[in-house]
Amino acid sequence: MAPYRVFEEYNIEITDEIKDKYKEVITELGEDVQREGLVKTPERAAKAMQFLTSGYNSDPVEILKGAMFAEDYNDMVIIKDIELYSLCEHHMLPFFGKAHVAYIPNGHIVGLSKIPRVVDVFARRLQVQERLTHDILECLHQTLKPKGVAVVIEAAHMCMMMRGVQKQNSTTTTSGFRGQFEKVETRTEFLNLISANLH
């Protein structure tokens, strides 16, 4: 039996258009696009950029609705340490880190894999960390209609590390809370749990 494989598909016409633009940029930077190491770079970059912004082609609401189940569970559900990779919309340089997401069901739970998928959909767009946090929070809040939602994102930004202030060890934390997580005790429980080393 053949192993499970993931296939990436690209629109040839769009890829060619982006590839041509990358050729122009590389040439304007003073490089030779015919040099051996760069011959295939415009096409690779075109495909990479389409993958890194593929979130524009996915509907996070439909992802959640496709895996919602009626369940009488009323306690906190936490998915922590969700890896995320995104592009800063200001310089189109990466920022990366972890998202911690929790919700308190209100008659429905959602398949656990769907929350990381929602994080990926919003991360794979040109973003700022503050809006990324808000997008994930509001999508879960509006779609699941839970008793509460919490999102915390910790990320390092290459635009701060490679250029500008060049602070290699700085990280940025953003958070958002709705419903029961606006209560101090619930929010504190969540923050303690994502900080604990439970495994």
DSSP string covering 20-75: HHHHHHHHHTT--TTSGGGTTHHHHHHHHHHHHTGGGG--HHHHHHTTEEE----S
Place of tokens 């808000």: 134
Q: Which amino acid is at 19?
A: K
Q: Which two tokens stand for residue 116?
A: 């990381």
* Cβ atoms 102, 150 nearer than 8 A: yes
Q: Among 3.90.78.10, 3.40.190.290, 3.30.1130.10, 3.30.365.10, what is the CATH number of 59-195? A: 3.30.1130.10
Stretch(es) of the chain classified as CATH 3.30.1130.10: 59-195
Which regions in the chain score pLDDT beneath 50? Answer: none
Least Cα distance to 121 among 156, 157, 84 occurs for 84
**Taking a C-beta distance cutoff of 8 angstroms, is the pair 105, 141 a contact?**
no
Predicted pLDDT at 9: 79
Secondary structure tally for the chain: helices H, strands E: 7, 7
CB 126 within 8 A of CB 166: no
By residue count, the chain amounts to 199
Check residue 161 and give its pLDDT. 86
Range(s) of the chain covered by CATH 1.10.286: 12-52
Q: Which residues contact 79 (CB under 8 A, 6 or more apart)?
A: 100, 101, 102, 112, 115, 116
Rounded to the nearest integer, the mean pLDDT of the chain is 94
In contact, 133 and 174? CB cutoff 8 Å: yes
C-alpha count within 13 angstroms, C-beta hemisphere, residue 186: 18
CATH number, domain 12-52: 1.10.286
What is the C-alpha to C-alpha distance for residues 136 and 157, in angstroms, rounded to an integer?
Answer: 19
The per-residue pLDDT for range 132-163, each reduced to its tens digit, is 999 999 999 999 999 999 999 999 999 888 87
State the catalytic residues.
88-91, 129, 157, 159
Instruction: Give the C-alpha separation, 36 to 34, whole Å.
Output: 6
pTM: 0.91
